[in-house]
Every structure is written in structure tokens, then in C-alpha cells.
């Protein structure tokens, strides 16, 4: 299972990596930020964790041109209300990803997001392997 983290802020990369690790049971294969040069990894990811701040103007998913069939999870830091993650989810779907889970919203510092991540992953981690397998069955050949 290939996992990629997309973080639109260097301060979110560590948090998104911790989320991806808790979700999949292993460290991500790639951590990218929008301003990094070069194309994404040669192999499309199976799982994508996209992290953004609630007040970000441009969601992270725009940096990865092809997420066809990838299983995506969105993490939004800060902000209030239930609509903060919709731009990020919309960008992931536009790039071809499947987003079966609700956005994980966590408060910004000084609150520790570990409990929220653990609770979310307790539910979604068991489903990740089956959802990835289902996506591979429907994924177009590269």
C-alpha cells in the first residue's frame, strides 16, 4: 500500500504524517508540499492524506495531478463549523480520489490532536485495506 501525504503548510506535515501512520499502520512513502518542484512519485498512491489549514486559500490536492482511484482522507486544522473541509474534499475528488470518510477537523495549537486522531483511526483503520483493494479493482491502468 503506497501512502502519500499532501500538506499545504510545513507546520502540518508532521501532524499529517502522524495521521497517515495511525490510519495505515505504517509511515507514509512520500510527504509533499505544493511548492516542491518535480512530479509526484512514479507510482500513484493507494492512500492519500491531505492536510490543510481551515483558512487556506488553495487546497493541497491541486498539486497532485492524478489521484485516480486513490483512497483519500482530509485533515483540516483550525477553524470552526462543518464546512471548513469541503474545498479540500472537492479538490481531492476533482483529482480522481475517493473520499469515503468525513473530514477530520482538529483544533490548532496548543491543543493536542492525538486523541482526535486515535478516535478517528479506531473506526477507519480497519476499513482502509478493504477500501484500497476495492479501488484497485476499479483503477484504470497506468
Residue 83: per-residue pLDDT: 63
Dist CA 111 CA 59 (whole Å): 23
Q: Are 105 and 76 in contact (CB under 8 A)?
A: yes
| Cell numbers found for residue 134 | 476495492
Q: Are 73 and 42 in contact (CB under 8 A)?
A: no
Residue 122: per-residue pLDDT: 93
Q: Are 55 and 88 in contact (CB under 8 A)?
A: no
Dist CA 55 CA 58 (whole Å): 9
Global pTM value: 0.85
Residue 57: per-residue pLDDT: 66
- The CATH code of the domain at 3-138 is 3.40.50.360
Residue 115: per-residue pLDDT: 92
Element (H, E) at 92: helix 86-94
Residue 117: per-residue pLDDT: 93
Domain boundaries, the chain: 3-138
pLDDT one digit per residue (tens) for the chain, 142 residues: 899 998 888 889 999 999 999 999 999 998 887 555 455 555 678 999 999 888 766 666 555 667 888 999 999 988 665 566 788 888 888 888 999 999 998 887 778 899 999 999 999 999 998 898 887 666 555 5
Nearest CA to 32 out of 125, 95, 84 is that of: 95
Amino acid at each position: 500500500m503506497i501512502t502519500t501525504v499532501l500538506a499545504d503548510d510545513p507546520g502540518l506535515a508532521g501532524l499529517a504524517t502522524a495521521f497517515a501512520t495511525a490510519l495505515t499502520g505504517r509511515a507514509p512513502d512520500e510527504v509533499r508540499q505544493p511548492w516542491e518542484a518535480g512530479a509526484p512519485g512514479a507510482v500513484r498512491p493507494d492512500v492519500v492524506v491531505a492536510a490543510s489549514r481551515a483558512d487556506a486559500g488553495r487546497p493541497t490536492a491541486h498539486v497532485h495531478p492524478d489521484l485516480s482511484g486513490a483512497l483519500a482522507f482530509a485533515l483540516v486544522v483550525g477553524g470552526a463549523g462543518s464546512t471548513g473541509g469541503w474545498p479540500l474534499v472537492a479538490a481531492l475528488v476533482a483529482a480522481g480520489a475517493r473520499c469515503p470518510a468525513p473530514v477530520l477537523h482538529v483544533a490548532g495549537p496548543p491543543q493536542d490532536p492525538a486523541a482526535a486522531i486515535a478516535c478517528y483511526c479506531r473506526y477507519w483503520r480497519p476499513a482502509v485495506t478493504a477500501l484500497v483493494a476495492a479501488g484497485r479493482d476499479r483503477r484504470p491502468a497506468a
